[in-house]
Chain A
């Protein structure tokens, strides 16, 4: 392995390759920052360039673009509530409230540090354990994915604060329903397409995310300006961007969160059927469940932990997705599928033999990840105040720009005007729901997970001949299943305790009154 690292180092430290790492990170960050353009687009744009350079340099460039884009995606999630990449949705849950409270600088800095640590821990794990983890990624079968995503759905609990439980559940179901539009993945028949060819492929994640988050947020600013203005007037006394510095206590508070989430994110990323999105949701849900009582309530309202967890998890998961790609030749996501195509175009066959046949590709990609993460951190920390300046714009300008960029972003991906109409429609529905205090995050969560749960569930049913026994037949499935049930029941304990305490308190009160 030491030889490998040295080989990788010597490749990456070549001047040209270092430039490719820097260029890749830079391009990726900027493309990722545009709402709508994610890593897939960024990498697809790079492919013609990579053909003219060698395999090592090409892969280094693409890996840089990949995590640069994920990194950039969190910037738009945090600043304008526009998660253009599914992997950064969870970052907006607490990142955007933080930015709204005038801590945009701090939020972006936390995102940068967490991503850096997540990516670096991921790269170390990839280096040490890639061949071993290849076995892990193949040990997951469809039933395991069902229960894993079920566990991911428990993140909804994070949005069901007092009196919100029913509303959160309703929005989840709404999201699950929206996910059924399009061609039925198992039988090939059309569902809820109303004869519209534009609905055949289902509703795109990007459209739903942009409409319910960014557009609806912008519309709220228009509909309810008074409240916001009063708030921002108060805020204008203090600088809106806030400092990028973290206090010692904050670092101490977040360190274990980042560590746990990086490991969790990496492992989930290794599974070809999961990926960065599931990883970030699971990290978010896990941290909320583990948080002490006082901090738990802050989740969804600007918790630092709630931002650090998904940010470290999604970057670690991106690194993790290189395990099945490099060691098995299996792409877990659209992005890694494009990279697989590029590798094969170079005449390199990813798989168990890659480390022997093309050690320089294998090791230079891994070593370039360390450099890429450092480059991202160095590039982004000084730029944070400039990015955050977006928020210093007058509301009247910012709102229009958010409307413009989110509509353009969706249009540029599909080139379909139908999407624009649907987006406006969804945004209006979302606006009404938000005015009625329905949370939007469960809708998106249900929408993202719904499709994957359905595919895996129906596949499991087919494989097990229509019997539900797949839920307990294998120890792996059973243990994840039990874990998710425990996670569901865990809050009940607090609730019962609370109720008992309330009862005794009211009894005491009554006695006192008497």
Chain B
């Protein structure tokens, strides 16, 4: 695979002869999961953008799955800044899994560099569903919380479940009484919804749009703080008067104790990338929404999310209340 990787990077480099020479060192992207998933596409998309926009000459990628992403974090901490310019991609799970103790580290053990893109939680029903609006769902849940089976693409206590429980809570329903049905991946959860064995699907907005654009389902609500410019017709929970927002960011982390000049260099590269047409191509192709936050702002939002998730998980009984 190393061989393929180098072949691939050469191919990538060869196809982009016009990249201008830059004095800065190239970035090595560390992906804490196998190829093909969300983390992988983000890292490769950013790398492709950097190279095509001429910000970097080259970009290399390394997949390191295992331990729910924990192995890659351990690797980054261990190798420190010695092994060159490594940026690890991650997202909400780094906060979530640190809270449950599934990974023995948190984002505090690393240097948060910047967040790049965002996805939001979304709720989907079949076209023939009796629930026409999110208010209908809340009403039904209030009458009988077990009347609605909520599907999600991951185990109990992971993002899809927590977002659904939080949204229910914002509607005045006990999050613990939500009937969450876990599926093995978003695709099977979608099949479950369409086959009729569940009533509601809790998933990311981009996945929700995949089914909705196919014309078989409707998106009832999204957890973004404001209405989305690309999809103004989807109501946000906030706009309907439910005080709940949830952002699933994806961003980059570097080794602990990163020298300030290195951090500035990485941030500069990623900021520069934001305004390039090459990044716009990658972003639009994947249906991502920009969420560029530099170090301090990024850390602030991480802390905010950690506090938010901690409360939900305590309420649901996944972690014990702080003594």
- Among the stretches A137-145, A279-287, A365-373, the one at the interface with B is A137-145
Chain A residues near B155: list those with CB within 8 A. Answer: 183-188
User: Is the beta-carbon distance between A201 and B195 smaller than 8 angstroms?
Assistant: no
User: Is the beta-carbon distance between A185 and B182 smaller than 8 angstroms?
Assistant: yes
A463 and B36 contact, Cβ closer than 8 Å, known pairs A197-B103, A344-B210: no
User: Is the beta-carbon distance between B12 and A141 smaller than 8 angstroms?
Assistant: no
User: Is the beta-carbon distance between B194 and A330 smaller than 8 angstroms?
Assistant: yes
- The residue in B157, B158, B183, B188 that gathers the most chain A C-beta atoms within 10 A of its C-beta is B188
User: Is the beta-carbon distance between A188 and B158 smaller than 8 angstroms?
Assistant: yes
A201 and B65 contact, Cβ closer than 8 Å, known pairs A330-B191, A459-B183: yes
Chain B residues near A272: list those with CB within 8 A. Answer: 187-188, 191
User: Is the beta-carbon distance between B191 and A273 smaller than 8 angstroms?
Assistant: yes
Chain B residues near A44: list those with CB within 8 A. Answer: 35-36, 40
Interface residues on B, range: 35 or more
Within 8 A of A (CB), among B235-279: none
Q: Given the complex of chains A and B, what is the CA–CA distance between A175 and B184 in angstroms?
A: 20
A352 and B182 contact, Cβ closer than 8 Å, known pairs A48-B11, A200-B68: no
B75 closest partner in A (C-beta)? A415
User: Is the beta-carbon distance between A334 and B70 smaller than 8 angstroms?
Assistant: no
Within 8 A of A (CB), among B198-226: 198, 210-211, 213-216
A95 at the interface (CB under 8 A from B): no
B176 at the interface (CB under 8 A from A): no
A341 at the interface (CB under 8 A from B): yes
Chain A residues near B41: list those with CB within 8 A. Answer: 341
Query: Digit string of A154-189 for contact with B (CB within 8 Å is 1, else 0)?
Result: 000000000000000000000000000001111110
User: Is the beta-carbon distance between A139 and B35 smaller than 8 angstroms?
Assistant: no
Chain A residues near B229: list those with CB within 8 A. Answer: none
How far is the CB of B30 from the nearest CB of chain A, in Å?
11
User: Which single member of B65, B70, B197 contacts A141 (CB below 8 Å)?
Assistant: B197
User: Is the beta-carbon distance between A329 and B1 smaller than 8 angstroms?
Assistant: no
User: Is the beta-carbon distance between A185 and B181 smaller than 8 angstroms?
Assistant: no
How far is the CB of B294 from the nearest CB of chain A, in Å?
28
User: Is the beta-carbon distance between B11 and A337 smaller than 8 angstroms?
Assistant: no
User: Which single member of B74, B182, B196 contacts A186 (CB below 8 Å)?
Assistant: B182
User: Is the beta-carbon distance between A349 and B214 smaller than 8 angstroms?
Assistant: yes
B118 at the interface (CB under 8 A from A): no
A460 closest partner in B (C-beta)? B197
Chain B residues near A465: list those with CB within 8 A. Answer: 146
User: Is the beta-carbon distance between A45 and B215 smaller than 8 angstroms?
Assistant: no
B179 at the interface (CB under 8 A from A): yes
User: Is the beta-carbon distance between B1 and A328 smaller than 8 angstroms?
Assistant: no
User: Is the beta-carbon distance between A45 and B8 smaller than 8 angstroms?
Assistant: yes
Q: Given the complex of chains A and B, what is the CA–CA distance between A41 and B103 in angstroms?
A: 26
Within 8 A of A (CB), among B1-28: 1-2, 4, 8, 11-12, 15
Chain A residues near B4: list those with CB within 8 A. Answer: 45
A347 at the interface (CB under 8 A from B): yes
Number of residues on chain A facing chain B (CB within 8 A): 63
Chain B residues near A418: list those with CB within 8 A. Answer: 66
User: Is the beta-carbon distance between A49 and B11 smaller than 8 angstroms?
Assistant: yes
Within 8 A of A (CB), among B161-207: 179, 181-185, 187-188, 190-192, 194-198
Chain A residues near B149: list those with CB within 8 A. Answer: 462-463
A415 closest partner in B (C-beta)? B64
B187 closest partner in A (C-beta)? A331
Chain A residues near B216: list those with CB within 8 A. Answer: 328, 351-352
B97 closest partner in A (C-beta)? A200
User: Is the beta-carbon distance between B214 and A412 smaller than 8 angstroms?
Assistant: no
- The residue in B66, B179, B183 that gathers the most chain A C-beta atoms within 10 A of its C-beta is B66
Chain A residues near B8: list those with CB within 8 A. Answer: 45, 48
B84 at the interface (CB under 8 A from A): no
Chain B residues near A142: list those with CB within 8 A. Answer: 192, 197
Q: Given the complex of chains A and B, what is the CA–CA distance between A350 and B190 in angstroms?
A: 13
B102 at the interface (CB under 8 A from A): yes
Within 8 A of B (CB), among A314-332: 324, 328-332
How far is the CB of B65 from the nearest CB of chain A, in Å?
6
A139 and B195 contact, Cβ closer than 8 Å, known pairs A328-B216, A329-B210: yes
User: Is the beta-carbon distance between A414 and B191 smaller than 8 angstroms?
Assistant: no
User: Which single member of A197, A349, A463 contacts B104 (CB below 8 Å)?
Assistant: A197
A198 at the interface (CB under 8 A from B): yes
A335 closest partner in B (C-beta)? B36
Closest 8 CB pairs of A and B: A351-B214, A197-B67, A44-B35, A188-B157, A188-B155, A331-B187, A338-B36, A272-B191
B interface with A by C-beta (< 8 Å): 1-2, 4, 8, 11-12, 15, 34-36, 40-41, 44, 48, 62-68, 70-71, 74, 100, 102-104, 146, 149, 155-158, 179, 181-185, 187-188, 190-192, 194-198, 210-211, 213-216, 285-287, 318
Extra A-B contacts (11), CB below 8 Å, given A201-B67, A459-B182: A40-B35, A48-B44, A185-B182, A187-B157, A188-B100, A197-B74, A200-B68, A340-B187, A344-B210, A416-B64, A463-B181
17 A-B residue pairs with Cβ-Cβ distance under 8 Å, sorted by A, are A40-B36, A47-B44, A48-B12, A139-B195, A188-B156, A198-B71, A201-B65, A201-B67, A351-B214, A352-B214, A353-B215, A413-B1, A416-B64, A459-B181, A459-B183, A462-B181, A463-B149
